[in-house]
Amino acid sequence: MSFDLNFIGILIGAIMASSVPLILAASGELITERSGVLNLGVEGMMIIGAISGFALMVVTDNLFFAVIGSMFSGLIISLIFGLLTQSLLTNHVATGLALTIFGIGMSAMIGKNFVGIPGKEFPLLFLSLKESIPFVGPIFFGHSIILYFAFGLPFLTNYFLKKTKTGLIIRAVGDSPTSASNQGINVTLVRYSCILYGGAMCGLAGAYLSLIYTPQWIENMTGGRGWIALALVVFATWSPIKVLIGALIFGGITILQLHMQAVGLRIPVQLLSALPYIMTIIVLVVISRDSRKIKLNTPTSLGQIFYKEK
Amino acid sequence: MYKLFLRSLISVLFFLGFSLNVNAEFKVGFVYVGPTGDHGWTYQHDEGRKAVEAAGIKTTYVESVPEGADAERVIRQLAQSGHDLIFTTSFGYMDPTNKVAKDFPNVKFEHATGYKREHSNVATYSARFYEGRTLLGHMAGKMTKTNTIGYIASFPIPEVIRGINAMTLAAQKVNPDIKTKIVWVFTWYDPGKESEAAQALIDQGADIIMQHTDSTAPVQVAEKAGVWSFGQASDMQRFAPKSILTSIIDDWAPYYVERSIAARDGTWKQQDTWHGLKEGMVAMAPYNSAMGDDLVKEVEQLQKDLASGKVHSFTGPIYDQKGNILVAEGAVADDGMLAGMNVYVKGVEGDIPQ
């Protein structure tokens, strides 16, 4: 194995690329959860985003429409979740699980006609810089625009939640919907918006998979990344910056274990594949010992149904 | 009056039942592990099913059936609903197939890639994919500049290890400096993971990528990175037109048609089939002219020799990684040894995961 700097740069670049869908989906879900809504349908919304992005790419031959369309379809699917949980007051957990099952089935049905069609090349930015600068080049350049967006998103989300009025309102709704409602905030409206935003981001995460990462449509192609994203939100204890770090760790484990195998190192592959989940459990144990740390960011009303008193 | 009515009713029902029985059409059922559109393993089995249909025999199929409890339920249901011959097309269907076969002695079962034939109505069949791997090894050995071949492997079962060994032996014959790097992904089908594995191998210096997994993701990564690759199970050429040198194609159609007709005509017998290039169950997609006319001719000759039996993929002397002799000079490995192969040959890097 060549341990030169450029190789390490390439490795870091690969880790970043693999963490993008996790960052996007987890950042979206984080906003949804901070408003007090637990949407377990991340996997379903991602897969719907993946198929609609790919289908639109094939039909319109336009990548811009494909990306926007995938976000829109993620939004539509999450609207179903919103209607059920916010207007019809169904249980969040059950509805979210149903949404995932629905999304996987629905995407397979739509996808029937799009199997086996090669994808289109997605433009990568600054390719010449990637080649010419060693180490730094492969890390910072030669990625798709969605990757740059994904890496900026946690910082934007952090700023939005902490420094803006809207962010404050979302947190207030998540922590105590009753008091927020008494202050004259329309809790249902806020929660609807957060659900829709989460849906759009999950749709985008799916489109990243079907348009850029493995440019084709394959049934069930999200392969459980939606569940890892959900675990990631908990792993990050609802803090956007930690989502970014967690996504890089989770993505890094996959890439590193493949590289270690390619060098011929003896490692228990199955253990490494299970590591993201094991780490999430460890984090859960650690944070539950320190109640001050959880309270900092945890939305207290997470998953609870809100009845407005008339 | 009442009795008369009852009697006529019974006779009508009896007649109906009898005529239904006579009219019961000969039907063949297929159970697939993946979606028919995977463009790999299941796709090829479905092409075989279509050939049976074209031969005038009615078929049905169930796709994406997980290996396990679900499989038995699906197979049982096909047997109950009047299918006369059922093909179960994945290794993991082995036990469920035999279990259902016991309860339906009049239904014939054909299980792909397995070895259990516990009842007289169960046959097994597989293809000598390793013959194709020998051809890939020859091309890889000639085409590589970095002397490093990247191999994406699914599960450590004899079938997969056999392919790795056959490829490495053939590559060593034309290029003694060759190294085979292997990444195990522990899935038949996960495009994301397969493409990450392909990228990891390319980053580690492999300029030839081959796979024993079913999606087209690895060849697409190879195309993007500008290295050579080989398609798996079906012709994947259009996913990576520049990069693919050829694909190993599983052609089940002739076998499926032959066995279906035999079952319909009552000449079906239990057997264990292991066909290769000779019978056409393993076929090669057109060779990429980018490797030069000379090499194409060489490979075509080798393909003919493998088919005629003049050349065997596992001809001694063959050594394992520690240097112990596996096959003596001049001898060839027998089918028993091939079927249970669980060690790497010399020249393969790393260990087989346990």
What count of CB pairs under 8 Å joins A to B? 97
Q: What percent of chain A has pLDDT over 70?
A: 95
> How far apart, in whole angstroms, are the C-alpha atoms of residue B247 and residue B222?
14
Output the pLDDT for position B193. 87
> How far apart, in whole angstroms, are the C-alpha atoms of residue A134 and residue A12?
13
| Position B142 pLDDT exceeds 60 | yes
A259 with B215: Cβ contact below 8 A: no
> How far apart, in whole angstroms, are the C-alpha atoms of residue B102 and residue B144?
51
Q: What are phi and psi of B91, to 5 degrees?
A: -55, -40
* A302 located within any domain: no
- Residues linked to residue B62 through DSSP beta bridges, in sequence order: B31
pTM for the predicted model, two decimal places: 0.79
Output the pLDDT for position A1. 44
pLDDT bracket for residue A39 (50, 70, 90) = very high
Output the pLDDT for position B12. 58
pLDDT tens for B321-346 read 999 999 998 899 988 889 889 999 98
Scanning B135-174 for CB atoms below 8 A from A yields: 150
> How far apart, in whole angstroms, are the C-alpha atoms of residue B42 and residue B90?
9
Asked whether the beta carbons of B19 and B12 are under 8 A apart, the reply is no
Output the pLDDT for position B298. 95
> How far apart, in whole angstroms, are the C-alpha atoms of residue A34 and residue B11?
72
Output the pLDDT for position B19. 44
Residues of chain A neighbouring B196 (CB-CB closer than 8 A): 14, 18, 254-255, 258
pLDDT tens for A43-52 read 999 999 999 9
Nearest to A214 among B181, B192, B351 (CB): B192
| Position B184 pLDDT exceeds 70 | yes
Q: What are phi and psi of B170, to 5 degrees?
A: -65, -40
pLDDT bracket for residue A2 (50, 70, 90) = very low
Question: A173: which 2 tokens?
Answer: 């709704």
Domain with CATH 3.40.50.2300 in chain B: 24-127+252-275, 129-250+314-339
pLDDT tens for B236-290 read 998 899 999 999 999 999 999 999 999 999 999 999 999 999 999 999 999 999 9
Q: In what order do the strands lie in the sheet with B27-31?
A: B58-62, B27-31, B85-88, B108-112, B122-127, B272-275
* pLDDT, average across residues A4-28: 89
Quote the domain boundaries for residue A132.
Answer: 5-297
Asked whether the beta carbons of B135 and B299 are under 8 A apart, the reply is yes
A118 with B205: Cβ contact below 8 A: no
Question: B242: which 2 tokens?
Answer: 């520049």
Probe site for chain A from B64, B188, B203 (most A CB atoms < 10 A): B203
- Cα Rg, chain B, nearest whole Å: 23
| Position A65 pLDDT exceeds 90 | yes
- Specify the CATH architecture of the domain B24-127+252-275: 3-Layer(aba) Sandwich (3.40)
B203 with A14: Cβ contact below 8 A: yes
* A256 located within any domain: yes
Asked whether the beta carbons of A36 and A181 are under 8 A apart, the reply is no
> How far apart, in whole angstroms, are the C-alpha atoms of residue B204 and residue A145?
26
pLDDT bracket for residue B215 (50, 70, 90) = confident
* pLDDT, average across residues B32-50: 87
Which of A19, A106, A102, A119 has the alpha carbon at shortest distance from A63?
A: A119
Q: What are phi and psi of B195, to 5 degrees?
A: -75, -35
Q: Tell me the HSE value of B39 on the side-chain side, using a 13 A CA sphere.
A: 24
| Position A307 pLDDT exceeds 80 | no
Output the pLDDT for position B246. 96
Q: Lowest mean pLDDT of B81-90, B185-194, B219-228, name the range.
A: B185-194
pLDDT bracket for residue B58 (50, 70, 90) = very high
Burial of B56 by CB count in 10 Å (0-12 exposed, 13-18 middle, 19+ buried)? exposed
Output the pLDDT for position B21. 47
Probe site for chain A from B63, B199, B211 (most A CB atoms < 10 A): B199
A219 with B64: Cβ contact below 8 A: yes
Residues of chain A neighbouring B201 (CB-CB closer than 8 A): 262
> How far apart, in whole angstroms, are the C-alpha atoms of residue B273 and residue B281?
10
Kindly report the nearest CA distance between residue B12 and chain A, in angstroms.
43
Output the pLDDT for position A293. 65
* A45 located within any domain: yes
B333 reaches A (C-beta below 8 A): no
pLDDT tens for A166-222 read 999 999 999 999 999 999 999 999 999 999 999 999 999 999 999 998 888 888 888
Which run of H or of E encompasses B328? none
3-state secondary structure of B247: strand
Nearest to A269 among B184, B190, B192 (CB): B184
Yes or no: is domain B129-250+314-339 CATH 3.30.70.980?
A: no
* pLDDT, average across residues B3-16: 60
Asked whether the beta carbons of A216 and A118 are under 8 A apart, the reply is yes
In the DSSP assignment, the letter for residue A212 is I
Output the pLDDT for position B5. 63
* pLDDT, average across residues A23-29: 96
CATH of the domain at A88: 1.10.3470
Average pLDDT, chain B: 90
Q: What is the ipTM of this complex?
A: 0.73
B326 reaches A (C-beta below 8 A): no
3-state secondary structure of B112: strand
Interior/surface letters B258-290, b for 16+ CB within 10 angstroms, e for the rest: ebbbebbeeebeeeebebbbeeebbbbbebbee
> How far apart, in whole angstroms, are the C-alpha atoms of residue A291 and residue A222?
34
B195 with A266: Cβ contact below 8 A: no
Output the pLDDT for position B22. 43
Number of domains in chain A: 1
Probe site for chain B from A5, A258, A265 (most B CB atoms < 10 A): A258
- Which range has highest mean pLDDT (A15-29, A250-264, B181-195)? A15-29
| Position B18 pLDDT exceeds 60 | no
Question: B190: which 2 tokens?
Answer: 């996960």
Burial of B105 by CB count in 10 Å (0-12 exposed, 13-18 middle, 19+ buried)? exposed
> How far apart, in whole angstroms, are the C-alpha atoms of residue B259 and residue B102?
20
* pLDDT, average across residues A230-237: 88
pLDDT tens for B218-234 read 999 999 899 999 999 88
Output the pLDDT for position B316. 85
Amino acid at B106: N
CA distances from A239 to A21, A294, A297 (A): 17, 10, 7
Can you list the alpha helix ranges (DSSP code H) found in chain A?
5-34, 42-60, 63-82, 92-111, 127-132, 136-140, 145-163, 165-175, 177-182, 187-207, 225-235, 240-263, 269-289, 291-297
* pLDDT, average across residues A68-95: 94
Asked whether the beta carbons of B230 and B248 are under 8 A apart, the reply is yes
B215 reaches A (C-beta below 8 A): yes
